[in-house]
């Protein structure tokens, strides 16, 4: 059993690691093919899509997986079906919200075209992603990881082919991203339908309401988090020239891939060192240690990226993105805050307090949005960098305050 769990975690980590590596290569080809202005349009469209896609996580894995584990295999289809419908409804709402936002802001046609193609993922990724929750409940993430890597490889091949052919249109590359989402959905659906017991879906409003209410706080938290992570680009895009926005987007794209290392590490560490600890004092202490270690690791990595920024930018993006170098040097060091925040969030997960996560991201979003609206019109990219530092700093401060306030010493004294 322990070997099976370890193998399952390794497959998840391997998938994430390969996704980061292939993703960096894809972004490098996009930047070189589209140039700063075209890359800016693509990244802005992707930011809008990612925020809208958060609406599709109306019934997340943290709700579905425990219920599947407690349900016999021949009755799991009812949960899967209701979760699929809820996510599909959220995806449709997200796609329509994206279109409404673009209609109100009237961006260039390149952004419209890219967003409409990239938005296909809103409609299929999370609804069919419920199959991943089914695999996780059965401690078998390997098929999902293989399907994800297969779809990602197809996308990388398509992007590489377009790059080699000298294609410079934003919508052409966005089509490759849409095909990846459709292919992944098809692979997951095929795997589930060939292995799960066949059950007719009988819609039950009470079941849907129970799943919706159980995941509401997690859903709101994720929407707020995505908003906090991407609101800087929504504010920055209309305030600066396209080339400047492209330089900032290139910087953030690198840091997103670097910061993903923190989630990979936490996914591998937390089950053994936090979730498996029945004594709260031990779990609390381990969370503090993990936050310190990950924060230090993020700082070392950030300093390394800052020192190598000229080489990294020229290797991946080319000489047209020289303005990214100075932005990356500052933001990379500040990204250590992201590592610490991911670790500190383990406390809310361990204590099953999604309300804390929602409150944190609501505060971060409000603070970042207010700061960006006041500073970005005057300082441009550097105002956005300052907002990035401020938002992550607020997240860490809230996480540290909750960790300190809920320390075991205080509980013992009250007792």
Mean pLDDT on 121-146: 86
In a 13 Å sphere around the CA of 348, the CA atoms on its Cβ side amount to 23
pLDDT digits (tens, 9 = 90+) for 142-171: 788 889 889 999 999 999 999 999 998 898
DSSP string computed for 193-217: HHHSPP------HHHHHHHHHHHHH
Q: Which two tokens stand for residue 145?
A: 């990881």
Query: What is the pLDDT at residue 336?
Result: 94
The answer to whether the CB of 248 falls within 8 A of the CB of 236 is yes
Domain ranges for the chain: 1-203, 237-415
**pLDDT at 208 exceeding the cut of 80:** yes
CA–CA gap between residue 340 and residue 361 (Å, rounded): 15
pLDDT at 115 over 70: yes
Higher pLDDT, 235 or 74: 235
Query: Residue 325 pLDDT more than 80?
Result: yes
Q: Is the pLDDT of residue 49 over 50?
A: yes
Cα–Cα separations (whole angstroms), residue 293 to 266, 339, 341? 11, 9, 12
What gap in Å lies between CA 152 and CA 159, rounded to an integer?
A: 10
């Amino acid at each position: 059993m322990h070997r099976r769990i370890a193998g399952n975690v390794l497959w998840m980590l391997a998938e994430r690691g390969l996704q980061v590596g292939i993703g960096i290569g894809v972004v490098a080809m996009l930047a070189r093919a589209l140039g700063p202005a075209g890359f800016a349009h693509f990244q802005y469209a992707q930011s809008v899509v990612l925020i809208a896609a958060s609406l599709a996580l109306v019934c997340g894995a943290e709700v579905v997986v425990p219920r599947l584990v407690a349900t016999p295999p021949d009755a799991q289809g009812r949960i899967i079906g209701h979760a699929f419908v809820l996510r599909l409804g959220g995806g449709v709402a997200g796609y329509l919200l994206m279109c409404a936002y673009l209609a109100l802001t009237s961006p260039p046609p390149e952004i419209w075209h890219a967003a409409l193609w990239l938005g296909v993922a809103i409609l299929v990724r999370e609804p069919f992603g419920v199959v991943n929750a089914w695999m996780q409940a059965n401690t078998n993430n390997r098929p999902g990881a293989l399907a994800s890597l297969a779809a990602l490889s197809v996308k990388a091949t398509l992007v590489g082919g377009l790059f080699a052919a000298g294609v410079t249109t934003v919508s052409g590359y966005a089509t490759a991203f849409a095909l990846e989402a459709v292919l992944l959905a098809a692979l997951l659906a095929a795997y589930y339908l060939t292995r799960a017991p066949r059950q007719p879906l009988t819609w039950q409003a009470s079941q849907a309401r129970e799943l919706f209410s159980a995941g509401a706080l997690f859903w709101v938290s994720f929407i707020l988090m995505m908003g906090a992570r991407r609101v800087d680009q929504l504010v920055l895009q209309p305030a600066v020239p396209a080339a400047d926005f492209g330089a900032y987007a290139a910087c953030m794209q690198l840091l997103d891939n670097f910061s993903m290392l923190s989630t990979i590490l936490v996914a591998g560490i937390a089950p053994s060192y936090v979730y498996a600890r029945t004594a709260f004092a031990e779990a609390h202490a381990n969370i503090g240690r993990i936050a310190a270690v990950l924060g230090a690791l993020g700082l070392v990595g950030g300093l390394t990226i800052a020192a190598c920024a000229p080489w990294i930018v020229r290797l991946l993006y080319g000489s047209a993105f020289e303005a990214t170098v100075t932005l990356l040097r500052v933001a990379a060091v500040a990204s250590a805050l992201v590592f610490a925040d991911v670790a500190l969030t383990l406390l809310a997960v361990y204590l099953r307090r999604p309300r804390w996560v929602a409150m944190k991201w609501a505060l971060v979003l409000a603070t970042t949005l207010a700061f960006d609206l006041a500073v970005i019109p005057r300082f441009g990219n550097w105002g956005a960098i300052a907002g990035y530092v401020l938002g992550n700093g607020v997240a860490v401060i809230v996480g540290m305050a909750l960790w300190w306030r809920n320390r075991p010493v205080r509980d013992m004294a009250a007792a």
